[in-house]
Homo-oligomer: A and B are copies of this chain.
Amino acid sequence: MSISKNTIKYIRSLQLKKFRQKYNNFVLEGDKIAREILQQDKLRVAAIYALTRWIEANPSSLPRFPDRIHTITAEELQKISSLSTPNQVLIVAEQAQHDLDLNLLQDHLTLYLDGIQDPGNMGTILRIADWFGLPYVFCSEHCVDVFSPKVVQASMGALLRVDAIEMSLENLHQKLPTLPIMGAVLDGSNVFQTKLPAKGILVIGNESQGIAATTDTLLTHRIAIPAAQQGGAESLNAAVATGILVAVLKNRI
């Protein structure tokens, strides 16, 4: 079986946000994530394009999708893939529609990303949220799209468990005005020595600009990771800072 030129064109169009939004679909690639996505119900699978050997190696997960499996050749996979070295299988899935659960929001630590633009950082932050069990990652409109191929690749399946929602902090604040909003800023109080809420929103700023001035006015707590006096680095990588702050907030005694 082969795929049509229109299908190739359609799948390739999903590399652009414009078309991902138009069709509400996105692409996941690779053996591992494919096996994961076929065993969950959070994201709806629209189509599976796989090499014969992958289909033969994964017989158990496929009967659920008899009408959505397309056997393709390595050459065809190369045509639809965004990877320089495609890995056996490509899946088109629907972007999940999220209803924000205010109780869940109130009872957990969550993240608000105020303009994370590097796809690697975004994917790594989604993995952090996944690891520490944060239900939501909110993204300002200035963030890289979480459904872009590079973010999906770097997030290593986190999107199957973490809800990433584009929403302004103001909007969130209006929904739950009492929710603590902690922000990572260079001149904040030492996170290791400050009494802080274990639940609420942690705001992470843009890689080079930090937190926007309009965002800063909404912060209830301004926190920082202490640098060594003899250290010379101007900043930590945004994903590393996120990991440290989330780990500490989730594990305070």
B-binding residues in A (CB < 8 A): 120, 124, 127-128, 130-134, 156-158, 160-161, 192, 225-237, 239-244, 247-248, 250-251, 253
Contact of A132 among B130, B228, B247, B248 (CB under 8 A): B228
- Is there an interface contact between B192 and A236, defined as CB atoms closer than 8 Å? no
Known: A128-B240, A132-B228. 8 other contacts (CB 8 A): A124-B237, A124-B240, A127-B236, A131-B233, A133-B227, A157-B233, A160-B232, A239-B239
Collect the chain B residues with CB atoms within 8 Å of residue A157's CB: 232-233
- Is there an interface contact between B234 and A132, defined as CB atoms closer than 8 Å? no
- Is there an interface contact between A133 and B231, defined as CB atoms closer than 8 Å? yes
A242–chain B nearest beta-carbon distance, Å: 8
The CA of A157 and the CA of B133, in the complex, are separated in Å by 34
Collect the chain B residues with CB atoms within 8 Å of residue A161's CB: 231-233
The CA of A156 and the CA of B240, in the complex, are separated in Å by 14
The CA of A177 and the CA of B14, in the complex, are separated in Å by 56
- Is there an interface contact between B251 and A192, defined as CB atoms closer than 8 Å? yes
The CA of A235 and the CA of B225, in the complex, are separated in Å by 23
The CA of A229 and the CA of B133, in the complex, are separated in Å by 7
- Is there an interface contact between B228 and A131, defined as CB atoms closer than 8 Å? yes
Contact of A244 among B127, B235, B243 (CB under 8 A): B243
Collect the chain B residues with CB atoms within 8 Å of residue A231's CB: 130-133, 161
Q: Which residue of B lies closest to A118 (CB)?
A: B120
- Is there an interface contact between A233 and B120, defined as CB atoms closer than 8 Å? no
Contact of A243 among B127, B228, B243, B250 (CB under 8 A): B243
Contact of A247 among B127, B160, B239, B244 (CB under 8 A): B244
The CA of A192 and the CA of B248, in the complex, are separated in Å by 9
- Is there an interface contact between B232 and A130, defined as CB atoms closer than 8 Å? yes
The CA of A185 and the CA of B133, in the complex, are separated in Å by 20
- Is there an interface contact between A127 and B228, defined as CB atoms closer than 8 Å? no
Collect the chain B residues with CB atoms within 8 Å of residue A253's CB: 192
Collect the chain B residues with CB atoms within 8 Å of residue A239's CB: 124, 237, 239-240
The CA of A137 and the CA of B32, in the complex, are separated in Å by 32
Collect the chain B residues with CB atoms within 8 Å of residue A158's CB: 232-233
Closest 7 A/B residue pairs (Cβ): A133-B228, A240-B243, A130-B233, A192-B251, A131-B233, A133-B231, A244-B247
